[in-house]
Every structure is written in structure tokens, then in C-alpha cells.
Amino acid sequence: MTTRILWVDDEYSRLPDLANKFSKLGFEVDCADSVIKAQTLLDENQYQCVVLDMILPYGGTLPTNSESIETMKSYLGLDVLRRIEEKRGTKSFPKIVVLTIVDEERLAKRLQALKRKGSVGEILYKRPGLDLDGIVKAVQRALEGSL
């Protein structure tokens, strides 16, 4: 059986390389660049792993009030995590690898709590030195933890 991965990130510059690397390792990769697209793909498909950025655009229409676009992007990856949590207890509950550039204390505490609970398999911070091989290893560790 092919392992399916959903990659949720709004920075598409590296996605072709990532998808190619994972494909060579026998994974099937779908990509989403917004919360709405990720949630749609989660509803339509079964994934064994989700690689999830925390700062994402919503993907809907822009607000008409004074709410800023930056406010809309803040930590919307948590909305995707909630959708995944709804699948807990079903056969389609995937392992999660979180990618974030944010080292903000409240988010870090929340992610660590989700990791202790078993909802998040790995947390990687997007920093210099985090390369494609590091991401591949994190996905493999997360998947091994589910077997």
C-alpha cells in the first residue's frame, strides 16, 4: 500500500522538490496551500501523514471589516489540526508532522501538549539547517510511531 501524505504549506517554492523526493521514496503526496484546500482534501482522502505549517492563509474571501490579512494567517494550521482531531478514532486518522517558523511560547506549549496527547508526531522549526532530508526523517519517524 502506498503511503499518502498531505503537505499543507503556503510556501510553494520547495514543494516540487519535496514531492519529487517523497515520490522517489514511494510516497504519494498531495499539496494544499490554504486551510480550506487542506480541509477539503482531508474530507475527500485518507492520509497516513500530514505535514502541516502553522501559519496559513484561510483560502476564502478576504474580510471586509478591519481584520488584517496577517490576523487571518496567524496559526490557522490549528484549524487543520482540529479537523484532523475530528478523525481521531477512525481508520483515516493520520500522523502529523508540524512545520513552523514560529517559536512563540503559547503555540509551542499547545503543540507540545498535542504531541504528549499523541495528536502530533513531530514538531520541526523552520530554521537554517532544516533541510529536505530532515523533513523526510521526521515523516518516517512519525509513521514508524503509528505502526
- Predicted TM-score of the model (pTM): 0.75
CATH number of 3-144: 3.40.50.2300
The pLDDT mean for the chain works out to 76
What's the pLDDT score for residue 89? 62
CA of 72: how far to CAs of 34, 68, 107, in Å? Answer: 11, 7, 16
pLDDT band for 41, please (50, 70, 90 cuts): very high
What average pLDDT does the segment 84-97 reach?
A: 69
Residue 6 has pLDDT above 70, yes or no: yes
What's the pLDDT score for residue 16? 78
What average pLDDT does the segment 59-70 reach?
A: 49
Q: What is the rounded CA–CA span in Å between residue 45 and residue 12? A: 21
* 101 within 8 A of 126, measured Cβ to Cβ: yes
What's the pLDDT score for residue 105? 74
**Among 34-38, 48-52, 107-111, 127-131, the least confident range:** 127-131
Residue 92 has pLDDT above 60, yes or no: no
What's the pLDDT score for residue 123? 83
* Alpha-helix runs per DSSP H in the chain: 15-24, 35-44, 69-73, 77-86, 105-117, 132-144
**Among 28-37, 67-76, 77-86, the least confident range:** 67-76
